[in-house]
C-alpha cells in the first residue's frame, strides 16, 4: 500500500490499478499542468497541479465508494476513472479546451482514444478493466459516472477545497467529509440523503463565491485570454499539429510559444506579468445581445475589426465573452421529506444565486496599456457597447 502525502487530504492510500495508473506517463504528465492556469498571477500560491487534484479526486471517490458500499471490479473501474478523469486536458487545462474542442472536435471529457492503447490501456488490461467502460464514467455516463462527473461529483468537492487551500481564499472549503457521507443512490440517481439541503446549498454557494473571487478574477481572465490568443496564433502560423498541441504540458507550450516569432511577445509578457489592461469592461446590459451570443469566429472578427479601427496590430486586442453562467449544482438532487428533489426546485437560494451570477457577468476587451484607451473607444463604436469603463469588480 502506497501512502502519498497530500497537503489537503493528508495521506492518500493507493494500490492496485490506481497505483499502476499513477505511474503511467499520461497521469505523470498532469504534474506539469497547473490546476488553475493563470490564477497564480493573482493568487501567487495557486501553483497546484492536476496531478495532486487527480489524487484527491481518487481519494474522495474511494471514500465515497466505501460509503456507498460499492466494491470489486465496479469500484476499481470508478477509481480508475477518478485517477484518469483529467488526462484529456490540454496544456493549461480549461484555458485551451475551447481551442482543442473546436479544432479536434473532442471534449476533454472524451478520453476514449487516450485509453484505447499505450501504457494506460496496458494497465487497464492487466486489471481486467474495459477502457470503454472507464471512458464512459469519465464522460459522466452510467450510475457511477455521476460520482466522477455530475452535479455531486467528487471532482467538484476536491477542486473547491484544494483551490481554497492554495489560493488562501476560504470560500471553497466545503465539508467534503459530510458530502461524501451523505451520498446515496435512489433509483440509480446519486443524491444527498435526508437532512442535507444546507449541505447541497453549501456546494452551490462555494462555487459561486469562488467564481466571483478567484475563477473569474479579471487579471486571471486577461492572462488567460492572452494565452488562448497566443495558442491560436501558434496553431495558425506554425506547423504544430493540434493533436500534438493537445498533448503538451504547460512548460512545453510555453517553450513552443517562446520559440515562435509570432507568439514570443505573449510569453515574455506572461512571464513578467506585463499584462494587457481592460480597454472595455461591461455589465450584461451594456452589451448588445448579438455580441453576447456571438460564436468564436465572430468574436475573432470583432477583435480584428476593433484592432483595425484602433490602428493596432490584431494581436494587441483580446475580446473576452464569457458564456452564459451555468450552475450544474442547481440540478443536484437531495432527499427532502422522503422525496428526491432537484435543489433548484426546493432551495430558494438557487434562483438568487443564478441572478447573482448574471449580475457578475462581465464582457471584456483587453489591450496593452498604451493602446487601452484607443482600443476601448474602438470597441465601444464597433460593437455598440453602451459604456466601456463603468462596470466594476463584483
Residues 158-187 that bind its own copies (CB under 8 A): 165-171, 173-175, 177-178, 181
257 and 230 in contact (C-beta within 8 Å)? yes
CB of 208 to its own copies, least distance (A): 8
Q: Say which DSSP state 293 is in.
A: T
Which residue in 45, 237, 340, 386 binds its own copies (CB under 8 A)?
Answer: 45
CB of 37 to its own copies, least distance (A): 13
8 is a contact residue toward its own copies (CB under 8 A): yes
The rounded distance, in Å, linking the Cα atoms of 384 and 370 is 23
- Binding residues for its own copies, total number by CB under 8 A: 81
CB of 338 to its own copies, least distance (A): 8
Restricted to residues 362-391, the positions that interact with its own copies (CB under 8 A) are: 390-391
The rounded distance, in Å, linking the Cα atoms of 271 and 263 is 13
Task: Report the Cα 191 to chain-centroid distance in Å.
Answer: 23
Which residue in 14, 36, 38, 40 binds its own copies (CB under 8 A)?
Answer: 40
Residue 357 φ then ψ, to 5°: -65, -35
Sequence length of the chain is 394
The rounded distance, in Å, linking the Cα atoms of 388 and 391 is 8
Which residue in 7, 237, 340, 386 binds its own copies (CB under 8 A)?
Answer: 7
Separation in Å, CA 112 to CA 37, 104, 108: 25, 14, 10
Task: Report the Cα 259 to chain-centroid distance in Å.
Answer: 27
In terms of CB distance, is 267 or 375 closer to its own copies? 267
Which residue in 138, 254, 312, 327 binds its own copies (CB under 8 A)?
Answer: 254
In terms of CB distance, is 73 or 193 closer to its own copies? 193
Restricted to residues 257-286, the positions that interact with its own copies (CB under 8 A) are: 258-259, 271-273
The rounded distance, in Å, linking the Cα atoms of 204 and 190 is 17
Separation in Å, CA 186 to CA 62, 91, 332: 20, 38, 13
CB of 132 to its own copies, least distance (A): 25
11 is a contact residue toward its own copies (CB under 8 A): yes
CB of 301 to its own copies, least distance (A): 30
CA angle (16, 155, 199) in 5-degree steps: 120
The rounded distance, in Å, linking the Cα atoms of 49 and 54 is 9
In terms of CB distance, is 48 or 79 closer to its own copies? 48
CB of 303 to its own copies, least distance (A): 27
Name residue 340's beta-bridge partners: 335
The rounded distance, in Å, linking the Cα atoms of 123 and 16 is 10
Which residue in 126, 244, 355, 369 binds its own copies (CB under 8 A)?
Answer: 355
347 is a contact residue toward its own copies (CB under 8 A): yes
In terms of CB distance, is 15 or 295 closer to its own copies? 15
Restricted to residues 85-144, the positions that interact with its own copies (CB under 8 A) are: none
C-alpha cell at 58: 481518487
The interface region with its own copies, picked from 4-12, 84-92, 93-101, 289-297 by CB under 8 A, is 4-12
The rounded distance, in Å, linking the Cα atoms of 383 and 364 is 12
CB of 41 to its own copies, least distance (A): 8
Restricted to residues 207-236, the positions that interact with its own copies (CB under 8 A) are: 209, 212-213
CB of 225 to its own copies, least distance (A): 19
Element (H, E) at 177: helix 176-182
313 is a contact residue toward its own copies (CB under 8 A): no
15 is a contact residue toward its own copies (CB under 8 A): no
The set of residues, in sequence order, having a beta carbon less than 8 Å from that of 156 and lying 6+ positions away, is 203, 207, 329
In terms of CB distance, is 273 or 324 closer to its own copies? 273
In terms of CB distance, is 3 or 125 closer to its own copies? 3
Amino acid at each position: 500500500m502506497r501512502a502519498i502525502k497530500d497537503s489537503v487530504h493528508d495521506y492518500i492510500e493507493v494500490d492496485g490499478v490506481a497505483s499502476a495508473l499513477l505511474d503511467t506517463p499520461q497521469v505523470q504528465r498532469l504534474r506539469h499542468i497547473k490546476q488553475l492556469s493563470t490564477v497564480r498571477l493573482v493568487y501567487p500560491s495557486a501553483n497546484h497541479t492536476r496531478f495532486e487534484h487527480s489524487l484527491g479526486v481518487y481519494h474522495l471517490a474511494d471514500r465515497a465508494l466505501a460509503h456507498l458500499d460499492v466494491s470489486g471490479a465496479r469500484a476499481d473501474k470508478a477509481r480508475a476513472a477518478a485517477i484518469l478523469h483529467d488526462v484529456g486536458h490540454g496544456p493549461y487545462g480549461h484555458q485551451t479546451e475551447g481551442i482543442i474542442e473546436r479544432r479536434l472536435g473532442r471534449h476533454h471529457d472524451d478520453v476514449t482514444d487516450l485509453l484505447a492503447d499505450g501504457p494506460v490501456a496496458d494497465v487497464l488490461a492487466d486489471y481486467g478493466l474495459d477502457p470503454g467502460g472507464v471512458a464512459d464514467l469519465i464522460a459522466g455516463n452510467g450510475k457511477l459516472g455521476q460520482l466522477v462527473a455530475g452535479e455531486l461529483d467528487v471532482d467538484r468537492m476536491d477542486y473547491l477545497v484544494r483551490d481554497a487551500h492554495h489560493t488562501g481564499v476560504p470560500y471553497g472549503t466545503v465539508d467534503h467529509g459530510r458530502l461524501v457521507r451523505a451520498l446515496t443512490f435512489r433509483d440509480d440517481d446519486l443524491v444527498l440523503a435526508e437532512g442535507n439541503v444546507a449541505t447541497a446549498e453549501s456546494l452551490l454557494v462555494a462555487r459561486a463565491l469562488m467564481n466571483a473571487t478567484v475563477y473569474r478574477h479579471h487579471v486571471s481572465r486577461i492572462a488567460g485570454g492572452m494565452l488562448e490568443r497566443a495558442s491560436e496564433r501558434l496553431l495558425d502560423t506554425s506547423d504544430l499539429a493540434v493533436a500534438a498541441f493537445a498533448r503538451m504540458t504547460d512548460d512545453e507550450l510555453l517553450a513552443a510559444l517562446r520559440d515562435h516569432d509570432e507568439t514570443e511577445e505573449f510569453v515574455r509578457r506572461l512571464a513578467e506579468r506585463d499584462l494587457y489592461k481592460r480597454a472595455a469592461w461591461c455589465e450584461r446590459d451594456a452589451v448588445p445581445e448579438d455580441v453576447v451570443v456571438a460564436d468564436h469566429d465572430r468574436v475573432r472578427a470583432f477583435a480584428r475589426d476593433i484592432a483595425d479601427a484602433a490602428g493596432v496590430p490584431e494581436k494587441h486586442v483580446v475580446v473576452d465573452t464569457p458564456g452564459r453562467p451555468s450552475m450544474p449544482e442547481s440540478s443536484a438532487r437531495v432527499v427532502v421529506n422522503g422525496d428526491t428533489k432537484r435543489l433548484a426546485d426546493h432551495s430558494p437560494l438557487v434562483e438568487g444565486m443564478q441572478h447573482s451570477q448574471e449580475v457578475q457577468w462581465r464582457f471584456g476587451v483587453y489591450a496593452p496599456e498604451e493602446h487601452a484607451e484607443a482600443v476601448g473607444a474602438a470597441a465601444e463604436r464597433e460593437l455598440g457597447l453602451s459604456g466601456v469603463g463603468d462596470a466594476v469588480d463584483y
